[in-house]
Amino acid sequence: MTIENLSSNKSFGGWHKQYSHYSETLNCSMRFAIYLPPQASNGEKVPVLYWLSGLTCTDENFMQKAGAHRMAAELGIAIIAPDTSPRGDEVADEDAYDLGKGAGFYVNATQEPWSRHYRMYDYVLNELPALIEERFPVSDVRSVSGHSMGGHGALVLALRNPERYQSVSAFSPVSNPVNCPWGKKAFSAYLGNDTSEWAQYDASLLMQETSKFVPALVDQGEADNFLEEQLKPEALEAAARQSGYPLELNRHEGYDHSYYFIASFIEQHLSFHARYLLQS
């Protein structure tokens, strides 16, 4: 597979780089960002944290706004940030911020016209890690994290594939998408009207049924204007109580849905993942 380096910036002794490649899963060209800590330049294969961004975002939001490079460099953890959806003139889209490009919701779409390109679940789970592990000095030791729509994606990936991830965390995740406007709109379009198909992409429904636990950390701002209507962390808490899942969910007074919130607590999340990524 051919990949093209689009940019390179040295940061805290490591390198932040952007690449593009053609995705067989998504049938289009995709872009991703990677932060390689200094340890990766010394012949060491480092573990990887995959970051999934939220609605309207690209690979750039986290890398430029979260302030994660310093701690990642100190810990020796690579960070991969894919785009949030397929892109290109041939890719189906909608004149809305919460459906179409920028709003892939990390599902495998089954409905036309979305099914040709919108298979972000398979892309993040399989194709992208295979590419990263083949081309870069990283190991197959992985964790996953994300924000909002990306927090939903991270939780779903870890809950459905506990053997693939050492840990999972999320900021302000869409915790119960089958019961919120964002989720209902996206799932109806991408998956159809059979709501039984939606459950496989709902973190709360998955968590209440699972018996295989991946260490999980969630942070939620109490001043988040999407809290009650869209995010529903109480559904995730109830699911964890039902299954006995060891979920750590922290609420923070005064914090909103922005990257100011993420930047305030990203170092705690990286330290959390390091406990599991670096234990082997």
Residues designated catalytic: 148, 224, 257
For the sheet with 28-36, list strands across it: 3-11, 14-23, 28-36, 78-82, 46-52, 138-147, 168-171, 216-221, 247-252
Contact between residue 100 and residue 117 where contact means Cβ atoms under 8 Å apart? no
Q: Which helix (H) or strand (E) holds 261?
A: helix 259-277
Alpha helices in 1-144, H assignment, sequence order? 60-65, 69-75, 120-122, 128-135
For residue 89, give the amino acid letter. D
Single-letter amino acid code for the residue at 102: G
Q: What is the dihedral of CA 81, 122, 247, 78, to 10 degrees?
A: -30
Question: How far is 18 from 34, CA to CA, in rounded Å?
Answer: 6
- Decide if 97 contacts 118 (C-beta within 8 A): no
Cα–Cα distance, 191 to 179 (Å, whole number): 15
